[in-house]
Structure 1
């Protein structure tokens, strides 16, 4: 029974989506974009018919469609304040639809269509706000390679986490007034444990992303084989949303689909926003980079305890860490464009605050134990 209820929900969701796109088409002054909305609406209605047919074949009654309360509100908002008010909601609905189909065996084609519509809405939303967003544009132009992005992210997070977490750990233990040997062992253990954990987390994150993208690309391959006309339609819609005239968009889409290998790569970039040759970057590259950078960051507050003792070692450790934090903050400005002093001092302040908190807690614990 739950299966049929789910089918009915899918049917109603697709009808709601179709109605929303029809509404957007009726409100859109740009005829080119209005036509894109109408064609998406037709696709959504085809999806609704898929579920209607499945219900009929299962001898289940297909309910009379009535717009949901949420759909009525969104339509009212769009008519009152313009399409920009509801595009984000539609994007979220498309993503929910994709997630719902992902849990149903054999619905890969419908899932891919929902993903494609979500991608289209993202670009339309950007253009409504004044142009395609820089990140989307750069991704479409192939300027930012995902492998480098993963390595950079792992490097920044690894060094920052290593330095701040181990500085906090070392200061907490030092605050408890334990011996120098204990502080040193604790710092080294924290460094190794954190580096391994960070590397494993990065590997799992990137590898999972690669596997997901590989699955999505395999779905695209199957669709090109089984439904090339629909793929051509989706690709044409993307190019229309970017500004091409409908006829030009169709010609370009058909030309791309003439070569299946090129078509797969193009669809992966245009619909999924990934480079199929990299599949989201190297998991091992991200893991190794994360491990090394965490270790480098984490060793900084530990070094003074190898040749100094007591509060002298504590102050020198803080001094080394301040230099490291400022340097890390300054390095980040190469990518963020922020001022060196601002970024560096921000890192120093946050790092010292964390160290002060743990030192204070360590002092309280040490005093209670001693008492």
Structure 2
């Protein structure tokens, strides 16, 4: 009998979250930095130095932060699996009852639930408990290295856009040009992220544009205040 295989968008969650977060942070943080420095009256060379420094520092920070945080999740998963493995070795009957109980809670008749649990444990006891008790699956398991590289790469890609704008925009319109260009980049990012995740694009686009515009506006205001007082 042929197997019917389906491809679900939830399989993209692991890399999509890191990618959208990295690119969004790259655009917002670098554009905000450039806008703030430009609003203070700095030269074009200072803008480019600030932008490139922000790009490198941000990419390294994103990579390190993602690796550390996702590694913590991975450590927790590993500890739970080790404990579950020990319980399966020392209390197999209790673990069978526990697994059957999960199926009963989902609406399976008790006798059938115990039969199913016994068959599942006979095939892969740890895998069955990891999935149904701990909710650890192939789709959700933590991947620190993948998350770190994805975040660093997408942050760099996002941050390059405002740096390029700073290099090509005329000096008199740098602040306005950076703001408008970065908002357009954010809108595009929101649309791409929504399409990749199978969601309607309206809310994601509005969400990233609102928070990005707010961050840039606050940074521009601070830059003007600092530039006026120095």
Deviation at 1:240, TM superposition (A): 0.5
Q: How does 1:7-26 map to 2 (within 5 A)?
A: none
Q: Residue 252 in 1 paired to residue 116 in 2?
A: yes
**Given the superposition, is the C-alpha separation of residues 193 and 214 from structure 1 closer, same or farther in structure 2, using an over 3 Å criterion?**
same
| Residue aligned with 2:54, SS | helix
Runs (5+) with no aligned partner, structure 2: 1-6
Please tell me whether the aligned partners of residues 158 and 293 of structure 1 are also in contact (alpha carbons under 8 angstroms).
Answer: yes
Q: Residue 351 in 1 paired to residue 212 in 2?
A: yes
Runs (5+) with no aligned partner, structure 1: 1-141
Superposition misfits of 4+ residues, deviation over 6 angstroms: none
**Given the superposition, is the C-alpha separation of residues 221 and 346 from structure 1 closer, same or farther in structure 2, using an over 3 Å criterion?**
closer
Distance (whole Å) between structure 2 residues aligned to residue 258 and residue 361 of structure 1: 64
Deviation at 1:145, TM superposition (A): 6.3
The aligned counterpart of 1:181 is: 45
Please tell me whether the aligned partners of residues 162 and 194 of structure 1 are also in contact (alpha carbons under 8 angstroms).
Answer: yes
Deviation at 1:143, TM superposition (A): 5.5
Q: Residue 243 in 1 paired to residue 107 in 2?
A: yes
Q: Residue 337 in 1 paired to residue 209 in 2?
A: no
The aligned counterpart of 2:127 is: 265
Distance (whole Å) between structure 2 residues aligned to residue 258 and residue 302 of structure 1: 58
The aligned counterpart of 2:3 is: none
Please tell me whether the aligned partners of residues 300 and 317 of structure 1 are also in contact (alpha carbons under 8 angstroms).
Answer: no
2:80 to 174, 193, 216: 216
Q: Residue 283 in 1 paired to residue 147 in 2?
A: no
Please tell me whether the aligned partners of residues 159 and 294 of structure 1 are also in contact (alpha carbons under 8 angstroms).
Answer: yes
**Given the superposition, is the C-alpha separation of residues 216 and 180 from structure 1 closer, same or farther in structure 2, using an over 3 Å criterion?**
same
The aligned counterpart of 1:368 is: 229
Question: Cα RMSD (Å) of the superposition?
Answer: 2.1
| Residue aligned with 2:165, SS | helix
Deviation at 1:312, TM superposition (A): 2.8
**Given the superposition, is the C-alpha separation of residues 346 and 279 from structure 1 closer, same or farther in structure 2, using an over 3 Å criterion?**
closer
**Given the superposition, is the C-alpha separation of residues 254 and 184 from structure 1 closer, same or farther in structure 2, using an over 3 Å criterion?**
same
**Given the superposition, is the C-alpha separation of residues 278 and 354 from structure 1 closer, same or farther in structure 2, using an over 3 Å criterion?**
closer
The aligned counterpart of 2:166 is: 305
Deviation at 1:151, TM superposition (A): 1.2
| Residue aligned with 2:133, SS | helix
TM, length-normalised to structure 2 = 0.88
Highest CA radius of gyration, 1 or 2?
A: 1
| CA displacement 1:43-72 (0-9 Å, x = unmatched) | xxxxxxxxxxxxxxxxxxxxxxxxxxxxxx
| CA displacement 1:89-124 (0-9 Å, x = unmatched) | xxxxxxxxxxxxxxxxxxxxxxxxxxxxxxxxxxxx
Please tell me whether the aligned partners of residues 35 and 174 of structure 2 are also in contact (alpha carbons under 8 angstroms).
Answer: no
Deviation at 1:339, TM superposition (A): 4.0
Which structure ranks higher in relative contact order (CA pairs < 8 Å, sequence separation ≥ 6)? 2
Deviation at 1:336, TM superposition (A): 6.0
Distance (whole Å) between structure 2 residues aligned to residue 280 and residue 170 of structure 1: 37
Distance (whole Å) between structure 1 residues aligned to residue 166 and residue 160 of structure 2: 11
| CA displacement 1:261-284 (0-9 Å, x = unmatched) | x11111100001112x57713211
**Given the superposition, is the C-alpha separation of residues 217 and 278 from structure 1 closer, same or farther in structure 2, using an over 3 Å criterion?**
farther
1:157 to 21, 28, 39: 21
Q: What number of residue pairs does the alignment pair up?
A: 223
| Residue aligned with 1:302, SS | helix
Distance (whole Å) between structure 2 residues aligned to residue 217 and residue 363 of structure 1: 54
Deviation at 1:150, TM superposition (A): 2.3
Deviation at 1:344, TM superposition (A): 2.5
**Given the superposition, is the C-alpha separation of residues 153 and 169 from structure 1 closer, same or farther in structure 2, using an over 3 Å criterion?**
same
Distance (whole Å) between structure 1 residues aligned to residue 77 and residue 208 of structure 2: 35
